[in-house]
Structure 1
Amino acid sequence: MHTSFKKSKVFAFLALFILTISFTIPVVFFHGALNNIHNNKEVSAISTTIWNLYSLNKYVSTNTPKEASNDLNKMIESASEIGAASLPIWSVSLEAPNYPKEAFPMGIPVYFHFDGFTGEVHEMNTINHYIGMDPMWRGGQFEREIAPYALLSLCLIMILFIAYNKKIFSYFMFIPVSLPFLFIADYAYWLYWFGHNLHDWGAFNIKPFMPTVFGDGKVAQFITHSYPGIGFYLLVAISLLSLLALLSRNKAIKESSL
């Protein structure tokens, strides 16, 4: 076997491993659990285990009892705010005079995932209400719903790329290569949508605006911070590894045909 074929398989396997551990497993096995919690239905043992494992070292809402942190069953019992299990891809935080640094050293943070949100989601929705903005759950409903199926399909594509040296599978590898760009494009679209679909029931009437996608900004009296989370850097790693796999595969196919 051509050396570049072997390299392409190694690069693709590493990308697949990161994708599976960071996103696919938690998204697939926790899918539907939040709906069950909301409807007072039982959450499966595997969903509970996955959530407890992936919630380690994540931000915990200030309203969450200390004894309930990182324990899904106790979180449910205490009616604490429960978010997605997968790794956060992007983070946004708001600072305002009525949120003192002593109580909120990070401001009011919210983290965006493939399948939902974590952080001070309720507080952020309350703040958004003041400027006539819809609650966050209104955005990306379709994306969140298809997330487990899309990730499983992507894993299958990468497995086929590793297993077979057919050129056709190389074309599909452009999907994992484009993951960071797809996320930013979708994220920016929904920011635009929220900022340009304000309602007149807000306490503050402001003109339609484009929220800050990356960096620091200001909305009314709030200072905003919008930056990548650990999940985004992992998406970049997946993209680069997939690109290396693609280039190695194309090189191998080209030189093997000479």
Structure 2
Amino acid sequence: MYSSFFKSKIYASIALVIMTLAFTFPMITFHGTLNKIYNNKVGEISPLAINVWNFYNKGRYKSTTTPEEAHNDLKMMIKTSSEIGVASLPIWSCSLEAPNYPKKAFPEGIPVYFHFDGFSGEVHEMNTINHYVGMDPMWRGGRIEREIGLYALLGLSLFMIYFILYNKKVLTYIMYISTALPLIFVAEYSYWLYWFGHNLHDWGAFKIKPFMPTVFGDGKIAQFTTHSYPTIGFYALLLIGLFSLLAVLSRNRAIKEMEDKV
């Protein structure tokens, strides 16, 4: 076997492992858990889902209303009716600062984190602020994407496994999807920010003109200062994209070497 074929398999394997650990595995194990909590079916939550949530949420932001003893303990979070986010790695963060949210009480402002399969952070408070300016609650955006996200990643993982096992040229084109994951997320995130900012309702207590929220960096909305930046999950996507690209380049080189010898 050409060395480039071997390298392409190694690079694709690394990309697959990162995607599995950062997103696919926690999304599978936690899938449907929030619905069970909402529908008072806590007894149906599997111990695996609880352990995975506890592990992946270590060190993550918890709402200021969450008792400290409930941090990183899903059972206690449920018992104290604390705000619970999903288990997968957060990809992007957005936070608001305003005079009515003093720095001492809210040292990180009002942050929310966007995941492939949901949200975490001060989601309830952010939706309250959005309502204040006539903006829809966050769950209105990306509903289809959140529903199919898990299945899309599972399908992509399957193609990556095929890419690793078989030296078919057509599988190289599929790998371009994993290469483009960071761009796909940013495009989706930008679109929904535009949608929210340009579909304001009259029931908002504070009237503002349609606007484009800041995608990356610091911005200003009414009396709020906004901060929008990538977080750990996005860097995981960059690594997936990088190793996927290396896998594609190595595979193309191997195919060219093989064709040149024919």
SS in 2 for 1:170: helix
Alignment of 1:89-104 (within 5 A): 89-104=91-106
Whole-angstrom CA distance in 2 between matches of 1:151 and 1:71: 27
Whole-angstrom CA distance in 2 between matches of 1:104 and 1:227: 18
What is aligned with 1:225? 227
Q: CA RMSD in A?
A: 0.7
What is aligned with 1:24? 24
Whole-angstrom CA distance in 1 between matches of 2:141 and 2:52: 25
SS in 2 for 1:173: helix
Alignment of 1:100-111 (within 5 A): 100-111=102-113
Q: Deviations over 1:11-49 (max 9, x none)?
A: 001100100000000111111111111001131222111
Q: Structure 1 residue aligned with 2:195, among 175, 180, 193?
A: 193
Whole-angstrom CA distance in 2 between matches of 1:148 and 1:114: 8
Q: Deviations over 1:174-228 (max 9, x none)?
A: 1100100000010011001100111111110011111000011000000000000
What is aligned with 2:177? 175
SS in 2 for 1:257: helix
Alignment of 1:1-258 (within 5 A): 1-41=1-41, 42-258=44-260
Paired residues in the alignment total 258
Whole-angstrom CA distance in 1 between matches of 2:45 and 2:93: 27
Runs of 4+ in 1 over 2 A off after TM superposition: none
Whole-angstrom CA distance in 1 between matches of 2:107 and 2:84: 21
Whole-angstrom CA distance in 2 between matches of 1:153 and 1:181: 19
Whole-angstrom CA distance in 2 between matches of 1:146 and 1:212: 26
Whole-angstrom CA distance in 1 between matches of 2:52 and 2:109: 28
Preserved contact between residue 27 and residue 147 of structure 1 (Cα < 8 Å)? no
- Please state how far the C-alpha of 1:253 moved relative to its aligned partner: 0.5
Whole-angstrom CA distance in 2 between matches of 1:152 and 1:46: 19
Compute the TM-score of the two structures, normalised by the length of structure 2.
0.97
What letter is aligned with 2:186? I
Whole-angstrom CA distance in 1 between matches of 2:37 and 2:158: 30
Whole-angstrom CA distance in 1 between matches of 2:161 and 2:58: 29
What letter is aligned with 1:215? G
Unpaired segments ≥5 residues, structure 2: none
Q: Percent identity?
A: 69
Unpaired segments ≥5 residues, structure 1: none
What letter is aligned with 2:156? L
SS in 2 for 1:118: strand
What letter is aligned with 1:121? V
Compute the TM-score of the two structures, normalised by the length of structure 1.
0.99
